[in-house]
Amino acid sequence: MSSVKDHCGIFGIFNASDAARRAYYGLHALQHRGQESAGIVTSTFDEQRGQPVMPVYKDFGLVLDVFDDNSLFEERLMGDSAIGHTRYSTSGSADNRMNIQPFVVHYHDGNIALAHNGNLSNAREIRKAFSDRGTLFQTTSDSELILHLIAQSRREQQLDQIIDALTQIEGAFSLVLLTDDRLIAVRDPNGFRPLALGRIDDPHREGTTYCVASETCAFDILNAEYVRDVAPGEVLIIDRESAKTGDFTSVQLAQRHGVSQCIFEYVYFSRPDSKIFGEMVDKVRRKIGKQMAHESPVPSVPEGEKKPIVISVPDSSNTAALGFTTECQKLGHECRYEIGLIRNHYVGRTFIAPGQDRREMKVRSKYNTVEGVLRDRTVVVVDDSIVRGTTARQLVQMLHDAGAKEVHLRIASPAVISPCFYGMDFPSTDELLANQFDDVEEMTNWLGVASLAYLSTDGLMKAVHAANESERGYCNACFTANYPVPVEMGVKKEENEWTQSANAGQ
C-alpha cells in the first residue's frame, strides 16, 4: 500500500546557532521541490522535564507562510540542530495532515525525527508485514515505515537500529534523521535523489556547523560552503565530535543494483544554480541544449524572411534554450534568443469558474505571451519535457494567438513513456502524451506545431556525461522503462492513487 509520493526537499543542520531559522532559510531555497507543506523539527534539552525533546512545527503551505510567526524561532523551535522538509503537491495526500513531514517520535531509545525524499519500492511488502503484526499506522506515507523499522529493531544501539532499518528498505531514499545527539544523512545505494554536505564556519561558535540539503542552493542562502555529496549508499553520521574535529563516521550500505541517479533532476527538477550529483545543473542543462542543436536545430527560413527566434518556457527550460541557441548559431543556423513568454510566479491554487477549462486556466494563470516579440515570427520553443502535453498544447495555442507565424517545438529530453516509482510525480502510463499516439507526426498535429523534436536518449546521456565526468550511472526509466530497482509486483500507479484517495478520507 505505497501511497503518498514523496518528491520533496530536505534539509538538516547540526551545531548551529539559530538552527531553526537557518533551516527555514534552507527550506525556502528548496521551495521548488515541494509547495504543499513545510515543517521543521529541532532537538533541545527541556530543563523542566530533565530530558531531551524535539519540538516540531509543520503545516500545509509554503515555507514563508507556514513559518510566519517569529516567536516560533524565539520560543518554540529551540536547540542547535534541526531538520526540515518541503513536500511536493500530489492529489489525495493534500488532505491528510498526518503526512506532513518531518515525522518525530519518542521511542525506547529517545527521540528521533525523519525527513524523506523519495519512494520506497518495497513499501507495500513492509507495510503488510507490520499490519499482520498489528502495527498501527499514523500516516499513509512510506517514510513512517522507516521509523517503525528502527523502533522494532532488535539491535541494542540506536545507530545499529537505524542501519538495520536502512538495510531492509529499497528504492529511493535520501533522508535526514535527527536523534538526541546526532544528525544522520543517508542516500540510498542507487543514489536516486541528491543530497549534499555543507559547512559553515561561525566565529561565534565552537566547532563547525554542518548542514545537509537536497540541493546546494540551500547552502548559498546560508553562506555555507559545499563540502561534498553524500555518496550513494552512505550513512553519514554527524555528532559533537565531528563538529569539533571534522571527522565523520560513515557506514556504507550494500550495493545491490548499481548507482542510478535520477536524470530528471538534471532535466527539470533541480534549480540551475544548484550542484547535484557533483555538477552544476546549469552546466548540464546547457550541454543538453547544445546536444539538441546538433540533433534538431532551428528550421531554416526562406531568403529575406526574418530569422527564427528561440524562446524558453520559463524558468525550467531557460538554460537549455540558451545552450540550444548559442550552439545553433555556432553551427551556422541563424536565430536569436528572445523572451516571448512571461511567467507569473505567484500561482498558488487557482479557483476556476464552473465551465472553464481547468488546465487551460492553470496554464494561462502561469504564463503570458509578449506579442511584440512573437508577431509574424518563426518561433522555436524549447521546453524541458512533455509529460501530459497539456501545457505545451496550450502554450502553442497562446503563441499562435499572439501572432506567431510558425511554432516549432524542441523538447530537451526524450519522450516520457513510463511512470516513476522512485519519487518523481508522473501520471499513469496511459496519461503520458507519448503513449497516446503512434508517432511524433500524430503528436505534432495534436500539439498544433509546425515541427516537434525530442532529444534522443543517447543524446541526453551523452550530454549529461560530457558535463558531469563522474563515472556514476543514471536512472532514465521514465524515458526507457528500464527500472534499475525492481518495483513491487502488481503495484501500479492507478492502484497507488486509489489507496491514496481512500486513505486521504480517513
CA distances to 60, 349, 359 from 365, in Å = 22, 10, 10
Minimum CB separation from ligand AMP for residue 359, in Å?
7
Measured over the CA atoms of residue 470, residue 279, residue 324 and residue 454, the dihedral's sign is positive
Are the C-beta atoms of 283 and 323 separated by less than 8 Å?
A: no
Detail the DSSP E strand segments found in 131-193: 174-179, 183-187
Question: Which window, 57-65, 92-100, 418-426, 441-449, contacts ligand AMP (CB under 6 A)?
Answer: 418-426
What's the grid cell of residue 305? 524572411
Residue 224 CB, nearest approach to ligand AMP (Å): 28
> Of 73, 101, 77, 246, which Cα lies nearest the Cα of 176?
101
**Residue among 383, 402, 475, 503 that touches ligand AMP (CB under 6 A):** 383
Minimum CB–partner distance for residue 143 and ligand AMP (Å): 19
Number of residues that bind ligand AMP (CB under 6 A): 15
CB 296 within 8 Å of CB 453:
yes
Nearer to ligand AMP, 333 or 388 (CB): 388
Given the complex with ligand AMP, which of 327 and 383 has the nearer CB atom? 383
Tell me the closest approach of the beta carbon of residue 386 to ligand AMP, in angstroms. 5
Residue 388 interacts with ligand AMP (CB under 6 A): yes or no: yes
Q: Which residues are CB-contacts of 298 (< 8 A; sequence separation ≥ 6)? A: 308, 310, 328, 333, 334, 335, 378, 380, 408
386 binds ligand AMP (CB under 6 A): yes
**Given the complex with ligand AMP, which of 113 and 313 has the nearer CB atom?**
313
Among positions 267-286, residues that touch ligand AMP (CB under 6 A) are 268
Nearer to ligand AMP, 33 or 182 (CB): 33
**Cβ-contact 377, 308 below 8 angstroms:** yes
Is residue 400 within 8 A of residue 340, CB to CB? The reply is no
**Taking the complex as a whole, how short is the minimal distance between the CB of residue 9 and ligand AMP, in angstroms?**
14
Known active-site residue 262: no
Tell me: does residue 418 bind ligand AMP (CB under 6 A). Answer: no
**Per CB under 6 A, 389 contacts ligand AMP:** yes
Question: Minimum CB separation from ligand AMP for residue 385, in Å?
Answer: 5
Nearer to ligand AMP, 114 or 380 (CB): 380
Question: Which positions ≥6 away from 134 have C-beta within 8 Å?
Answer: none
- The cell numbers describing 131, all together, are 499490519
In sequence order, which residues have a C-beta less than 8 Å from that of residue 447 and are 6 or more positions away? 389, 392, 393, 396, 409
Pairing verdict, β 183-187 and 174-179: antiparallel
Interface with ligand AMP, residue 316, by CB under 6 A: yes
List 300, 365, 390, 428, residue binding ligand AMP (CB under 6 A): 390
Cβ pair 41, 54 in contact under 8 A: yes
Binding mask 421-450 for ligand AMP (x = CB under 6 A): ---xxx------------------------
Q: Which residues are catalytic?
A: 8
- Residues contributing to the site for ligand AMP (CB under 6 A): 268, 316, 383-392, 424-426
